[in-house]
Chain A
Amino acid sequence: MSLIDLKGIEKHYELGKTTVTALRGVDLTVDKGEFTVVTGPSGSGKTTLLNIIGCLDRASKGTYVLDGTDVSDRDFDDLAEVRNQKIGFIFQSFNLIPVLDVAENIEFPCAVRKNPEDAGKLRARVNQLAKRVGLEPYLHHKPDELSGGQRQRVAIARALITEPRLVLADEPTANLDSTTSESIIDLMLELNKEQGVTFLFSTHDPRVVKHAKRALHIQDGRIADGAGH
């Protein structure tokens, strides 16, 4: 069974009297453990697609089955639960919470759960993950004391702390220099291999694309290339 199953996904934005169509019928399946990159020109609909897959936004039309459950028309707080349990997010501009230190940022998604796990156990997992992404010496630093690459490692650890089925990353390397980008992509690849986490990310960067196991190309709101297997 596939992890992501999109059928006939459309997304329209109402802008006053005109309607902007960002996605015009996307069919896509992604299996567990895949490492997929989405490319396409600016404005082609990459972010829109990732937002829908990430349950941050709803499609105007079509069905979306995530990990066996239809989430096409679930309400918002319901989706908060789904996001928290099943999806990790990595953002282009890191989006760490500035008043929290590295460890607190990493544990945040678990700490805000209705029934948070034991704080000691959580901290132990945070330490392990921080070690894995190379942040062990920085656990008690605030985000503004870190470099861009380090911040994105924090974000990766935060995305993984919930042991999600899926990690989504919208242009995770766009704010990083090329060496750092490579190391971030390498880290994501390793985590994909080690832990079997499914990665789906968008990028403009051709050097990043070459690492991907599967590449989708979006053009004008449609998947032009790589939708099947």
Chain B
Amino acid sequence: MALFKLAVRNLRRNQRRTAITLVAMVVGVTGMVGLRGFINGQQDVLLENIIKGRLGAVQVHRTGYVKNVLTSPLQLDMADTPELRGRLSAAPHVIGVSPRIEFGAMVSTPDKRPQPEDGSDLPEADQGKTSFFLATAIEPESESKVTPRRHGLINKGGRMLPSADAPELVLNDEFARGLEAPVHPAGAPMPPIEQQLALLAGDRDGALNGENMVLGGTLPSFSAGDKRIGVVPLAVAQRVLRMEGHVTEYALALDDYTQADAVRDGLKAKLGPDYEVHTWAELFPFIKSLTGTQDFIFSIITGVFFTVVLLGIVNAMLMTVLERTREIGTMLAVGMRRRQIIRLFLFEGVVIGTVGALLGLSVGLLLIAFTHSRGIPLPAPGANVESIVRPWVSGRFVVGVLLGTPLGAALATLWPAWRASRLRPVEALASA
């Protein structure tokens, strides 16, 4: 007779114990699957915010730029030619090319009142302010393909830059509030000069130039460390910086950001030594370390969960062996071999492990399917914007759980099974 059948019947025998063990496994597996799914969804949001909100998937610079990125070196620039843009957009997977200049800029706000007639100074509170920020000069048309997330996030009442040469800028909303700069309504006539903002920046020769602007819109923070930033029109920036026809950066959108490494390698070969190409992961190593930390914590939590569940199985199986001592003695007496006893208990472990894995996975996957379709609104770490987290798990993870759980259950049963097999028939038969 199949030991397997016997194992299944034995599990049905003490239904309460089997049920408790199963519930523990289902809770454990469901928790594990749910947690993994949530982490995956959150990591996606984090990546999307960074890639589609700020960086692009791949960036191209003049060689040496990234090493000196903190100083936004304007000397390391590139002539922004249709030919170069064409070569970039011709690369596989590339679906958008956005020319940019990153530079340190200042924004000045106007005085709140005119200078007093008597020649005395305005009180401090009424004077205009000048603040530094990190400016990204863009062509809104091209940029919207690379960072659609940022384009979509402009706060109500404002707008993204209408063109690459508009006298408008977009600032982080907290930063704009600090400046007490109001958003200029779309279509309204420009305010008089003395009520406009000024964008100021030093060019490559150190001369400070500026242009008058209005605040066209504000952006919420949607990833860590993006408070003192602003977006300005490329043509305006090129005039202020005296670098007409030049940019410092191309940000590329890919149809699949996981292909970034391949795209980088292809472009590197194509563009030659004058240019350098980096992926989002290289430009923002913080993400990798963050997701790495999350994965590590996940494996620890899973390990602890798993151990607790497996200890439950060990305990239940030891109780079973204890209860069935005389039965085991009988089986040994009528000639069942020790190895068969081990197998019988291992089967019980594997069966309960498989059922537990299947039930737990079903519940976990239902949970994931439900939260995936509904979406969990949550801010990404360090951001003020709600992002919609959509949990998911990979097929590999599901297969891993499906195989790993019964395997773990079998391992947990090994010791009780071994103990059962080592019973001496005389003593086992004599037990109550």
Contact = CB atoms under 8 A, between A and B. Distances in A.
Nearest to A95: B330
Interface size class of B (residues with CB under 8 A): 20 to 34
B369 interface: no
A56 B335 contact: no
Contact of A104 (B1, B13, B326, B429): B1
B6 interface: yes
Interface in A48-81: 51, 54, 56-57, 76-77, 80-81
Nearest to B425: A56
A81 B335 contact: yes
Main SS class of interface, B: helix
A99 B324 CA distance: 12
Contacts of A104: 1
A89 B1 contact: no
A57 B9 CA distance: 30
Interface string A108-146: 110111100000000000000000000000000000000
A77 B337 contact: yes
B1 A97 contact: no
A95 B430 CA distance: 11
B63 to A, nearest CB: 74
Interface in B401-432: 424-426, 429
Contacts of A56: 333, 425-426, 429
A108 B6 CA distance: 11
Given A57-B426, A107-B1, A112-B340, A97 B327 contact: yes
Contacts of B6: 97, 99-100
Nearest to A57: B426
Contacts, number: 68
Contacts of B338: 76-77, 80
Given A51-B426, A56-B426, A56-B429, A113 B335 contact: yes
B334 A109 contact: yes
Nearest to B427: A57
Interface residues of A, number: 28
Contacts of A57: 424-426
A77 B9 CA distance: 26
Q: Which of B326, B330, B335 has the largest number of chain A CB atoms within 10 A?
A: B335
A214 B85 CA distance: 110
B330 A109 contact: no
A81 B338 CA distance: 11
Contacts of A98: 13, 327
Contacts of A100: 1, 6, 9
Given A107-B1, A111-B1, A112-B340, A97 B331 contact: yes
Interface string A82-109: 0111000101000101111000100111
Contacts of A151: none
B294 interface: no
Interface string B306-348: 0000000000000000000011011111111110100000000
B192 to A, nearest CB: 94
Contact of A84 (B334, B424, B425): B334
Given A99-B10, A100-B6, A80 B426 contact: no
Nearest to A52: B426
Given A80-B338, A97-B6, A112-B1, 15 more contacts: A54-B333, A56-B429, A80-B335, A83-B334, A84-B334, A89-B330, A95-B429, A97-B331, A99-B10, A104-B1, A107-B1, A111-B1, A112-B334, A112-B336, A114-B337
Return the 7 tightest CB-CB contacts between A and B, nearest first. Answer: A84-B335, A99-B9, A111-B1, A95-B330, A109-B334, A57-B426, A112-B336
